[in-house]
Structure 1
Amino acid sequence: MNYKARISVFGGRKITEKIYNQTYNLGKLLNANKYLVYCGGGKGVMEAIAKGVYDDGGQCVGLLKGINTDEMNPYINIPIATNMGITRNALLAYSCEASVAVSGQYGTLSEIAYALQLDKPVIGLKTWDIDGIKKASTEFEVIENLNHIFK
């Protein structure tokens, strides 16, 4: 598998249609730019990012909370059933070279905190406003930021 970098995408399960569509487009762009995408494998942002990657012909790794794959969305190509509950949020941060946070609540905040603690770049798209996050207004800006990091 030839890719530029491993990118974990963090985000909420309950999102608007606008966030879903923007995240879907981001998934397509991440794949088109040769990034290997990781996510939590569930609904909301996780489904949208995986669907975008899938529809663009790419592979998406889903780090699932439970022991079974029945909780994952249908666009995950590589499921990893961790049986770790929300503790798997740390795995998402450890598995990537950079991350993108989209929308989200406290689970997303914990994923951001893990990534920042590990000194990994975090790009935020309509997410928490905290120090250490590089803000992006669009999915295209997210890609510009990642392409600047991974030349």
Structure 2
Amino acid sequence: MRIQVAVCGPAQATPTELAHARRVGELLAERGATVLCGAGGGVMAAVAAGARSHDGLVIGVRPDDGTEPGPAEVSASVVTNMGQARNAILVWSADAVIAVGGSWGTLSEVALGMRRGGLPVVVLGGWRVRDATGAEVPGPHHVDTPEQAVQAALAG
């Protein structure tokens, strides 16, 4: 069975986040992983485009009711009509999670991944959670490059 990696990130992404997401998609496709994403714009569209450019399989887990056409970059869509609650479906369908950048929705996906226990959760340029004393809360594996992100996700 192919490993499924959820790649999460903001729809309103920076140029660096978009470049990182595209590269993550390329690398995952090269390694034969199925890419799961939220089927939106920004990081989601960039990772899908990267994977598809290398003949990768991309499954978009959509938050809407499917009445509007889905993103062209995905191979197939799962329509949930659950809004942001679709994040739980995305994370629970994955063997690993890579978060590129950060938004509130991305933070929820990182948290859901950590709550699963034993799931590799990798953060590339995104959220760092700190406790009341300012110490970083242990959990997600923080990396600096798309190559490190994919390596950490697939090694998990």
TM-score by length of 2: 0.89
**Identity %, equivalent residues:** 30
1:39 and 2:37 correspond: yes
**5+ residue gaps in structure 1?**
none
Helix, strand or coil at the partner of 1:146: helix
* Residue of structure 1 in register with 2:128 after alignment: 129
- The 8 Å contact of residues 48 and 74 in structure 2, kept in 1 or not, is answered as yes
Matched positions, count: 147
Helix, strand or coil at the partner of 1:83: coil
* Residue of structure 1 in register with 2:74 after alignment: 76
- The 8 Å contact of residues 124 and 134 in structure 1, kept in 2 or not, is answered as yes
* Residue of structure 2 in register with 1:143 after alignment: 150
Q: After superposing the two structures, state which structure 1 stretch, 68-77 or 89-98, moved more.
A: 68-77
Q: CA deviation at 1:71?
A: 5.6
Q: CA RMSD in A?
A: 1.3
Helix, strand or coil at the partner of 1:70: coil
Deviations 1:19-66 (A, max 9, x none): 111210110000101111100000000000000011111110000001
- The 8 Å contact of residues 98 and 153 in structure 2, kept in 1 or not, is answered as no
* Residue of structure 2 in register with 1:95 after alignment: 93
Change (3 A) 1:113 1:56: same
State the structure with more CA Rg.
2
- The 8 Å contact of residues 40 and 46 in structure 1, kept in 2 or not, is answered as yes
Greater per-residue helix proportion? 1
**Structure 1: 4+ residue segments shifted above 3 A:** none
TM-score by length of 1: 0.92
**5+ residue gaps in structure 2?**
130-137
